[in-house]
């Protein structure tokens, strides 16, 4: 729904600043955002991946995403047809994969990330960043 999409986007806007990231995490938003990755509305999934990518810039965000067992769903989003979801999922993987456990988990994404490099310059650039993080 539109209100869900806008609510998630607002959490993303709050999380652009570092203190906002911690406030959104402290507000227990990550479990709800991880649930939104399964939403049937494309715009809600776009907003959720974008906001989670922002929150995964900090260690606490990465850990909570891993604790929510969302890494498999994030991996599955690489096969979506919507380019914005793919791009956001790639950025989300890059951020979460800075954590050693997630880096190990996302090694299985390397073939898909290589394949995605043929999907235009922006996706190619971010897919390469994700590959570099995972193989670091």
Per-residue pLDDT of 94-106, as tens digits, reads 999 999 999 999 9
This prediction's pTM: 0.95
* Residue 25 near residue 58 (C-beta atoms within 8 A): yes
Residue 48 to residue 24: CA distance in whole angstroms: 13
Confidence of residue 21 (pLDDT cuts 50, 70, 90): very high
Residue 8 to residue 36: CA distance in whole angstroms: 9
| 33 phi and psi angles, rounded to 5 deg | -65, -40
Angle between helices 18-26 and 42-55 in degrees, nearest 10: 110
Residue 57 to residue 76: CA distance in whole angstroms: 21
Identify which of 127, 53, 59 has the alpha carbon closest to the alpha carbon of residue 98. Answer: 59
Q: What is the mean pLDDT of the chain?
A: 97
**Average pLDDT value for residue range 11-26:** 96
Residue 133 to residue 131: CA distance in whole angstroms: 5
Model pLDDT for residues 51-92, shown as the tens digit of each residue = 999 999 999 999 999 999 999 999 999 999 999 999 999 999
């Amino acid at each position: 729904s539109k209100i869900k999409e806008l609510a998630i986007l607002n959490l993303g806007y709050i999380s652009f600043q570092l203190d906002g990231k911690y406030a959104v995490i402290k507000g227990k938003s990550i479990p709800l955002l991880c649930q939104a990755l399964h939403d049937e509305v494309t715009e809600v999934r776009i907003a959720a991946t974008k906001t989670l990518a922002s929150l995964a810039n900090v260690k606490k965000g990465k850990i909570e995403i891993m604790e929510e067992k969302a890494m498999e769903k994030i991996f599955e989003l690489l096969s979506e047809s919507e380019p914005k979801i793919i791009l956001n999922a790639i950025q989300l993987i890059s951020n979460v994969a800075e954590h050693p456990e997630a880096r190990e988990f996302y090694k299985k994404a390397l073939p898909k990330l290589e394949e995605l490099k043929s999907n235009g310059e922006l996706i190619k650039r971010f897919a390469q960043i994700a590959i570099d993080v995972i193989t670091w």
